[in-house]
Chain A
């Protein structure tokens, strides 16, 4: 197969405010609230300058799911996501330790 047949996939490094809303289908208001509560901390000072990473995009999708399906409010979403992040970190550590000390 020639190179031409392969489509170039571009790794998205960051998203601006509008892109994040479009891709995650969250409303402007909800996203602003997540930022106001420090659940998402974009780089940049003004809304035009804000840049979000893919980890923040994932957080935004999770936040939306928690609100929509479990009726969690924004402070609750912040707490839940923080705890989930800690669990992820702990899981990684456990995996490493388990590999170092196989039974």
Chain B
């Protein structure tokens, strides 16, 4: 396992006061909180910051960690607890308070003791472990096409499971049939696939659907947005354009005199369901990259004959 420098994680000097530790933790917790942050890897960062705070906020625990750190380990360096290091002893010697520590690293578990590290439910795991009645929660990712069409899919996900007294994350694989038109964030219920609780009730498995970002379409609730490139003459004269939708191409009539950014609606072409969404098409006017001689001559003719001034309303 890797040695963790909890001071470095919280951006603190060795001699930091309890006040400084608290302040730094609060600041970083706000920055990386998975419910707020859009930082890449926010959840992992948040867990690391919480773990560092857990180790340093308590004077006794901090003293035990400081002793170990003085031996000169570098962050990320391969770490084996020294033979004379007695984690259990450290756990008994000091009164450690187990709080939100599930999901902490092997390093933490090793130096402060297993029974301590797994005592609480914490962070993102908290929600899943605390589910009553044997229900279980997990997340799956599917493509927009799969969400639109529904159908059969083999899904893989991490699921918290009880192993004796501990909760461990296990990789699970299931072949499921997904209904057409599921929304981003919607849950799929798989009856009877939860855990059998102490009361004898077998719970359900809830899979939260995450719809992956699509290279072409932008999903907004049940509606779908698409940017459609058109030529200047298609926009000026109007055109009937074969436009992609998730159900295949459909003819879209662009009215004459269309402007860039105009939004056209394809009713009912969004996500299917009791109240199907719409597809919105946003026009983008694209000029040919290099003008062929013939096109150039036509543009020159237009330039000589047109009196249109798009800057007429501008002030000096």
User: Do A and B actually bind?
Assistant: yes
Complex CA distance for A91 and B225, rounded to whole angstroms: 13
Which B residues form the contact surface with A (CB < 8 A)?
26, 29-30, 33-36, 38, 46, 50, 100, 123, 126-127, 130-133, 135, 137, 152, 174-179, 181-183, 185-191, 193, 206-207, 218, 220, 225, 227, 260-261, 282, 284
Check A96 against B177 for contact (C-beta < 8 Å): no
Size of the A side of the interface (Cβ < 8 Å), in residues, is: 36
Query: How many A-B pairs fall under 8 Å by CB?
Result: 108
Residues of B within 8 A of A23 (CB): 131, 135, 137, 187, 206
For A80, list chain B residues within 8 Å (CB).
Answer: 36
Of the residues A10, A22, A68, A92, contact of B179 by C-beta under 8 Å: A10
Check B191 against A92 for contact (C-beta < 8 Å). Answer: no
Smallest distance from the beta carbon of B159 to chain A beta carbons, Å? 14
Rounded to whole angstroms, the CA-CA distance of A19 and B174 in the bound complex is: 24
Asked whether A12 and B132 contact (CB < 8 A) given A7-B175, A65-B33, A70-B33, the answer is: no
Q: Is A66 an interface residue (CB 8 A)?
A: yes
Q: In terms of DSSP, what is the predominant structure of the interface of chain A?
A: helix
| B46, B127, B132, B133: residue with the most chain A Cβ atoms closer than 10 Å | B127
| A25 interface residue per 8 A CB criterion | yes
Contact A96 B206 (CB under 8 A): no
Residue from the list B126, B175, B206 in contact with A12, Cβ < 8 A: B206
Give complex CA distance A62, B46 in Å. 15
Contact A96 B36 (CB under 8 A): no
Set of chain A residues within 8 Å of B50, measured between Cβ atoms: 69
Question: Once the chains bind, are A65 and B218 in contact (CB under 8 Å)?
Answer: no
Which residues from chain B contact A55 at a C-beta distance below 8 Å?
185
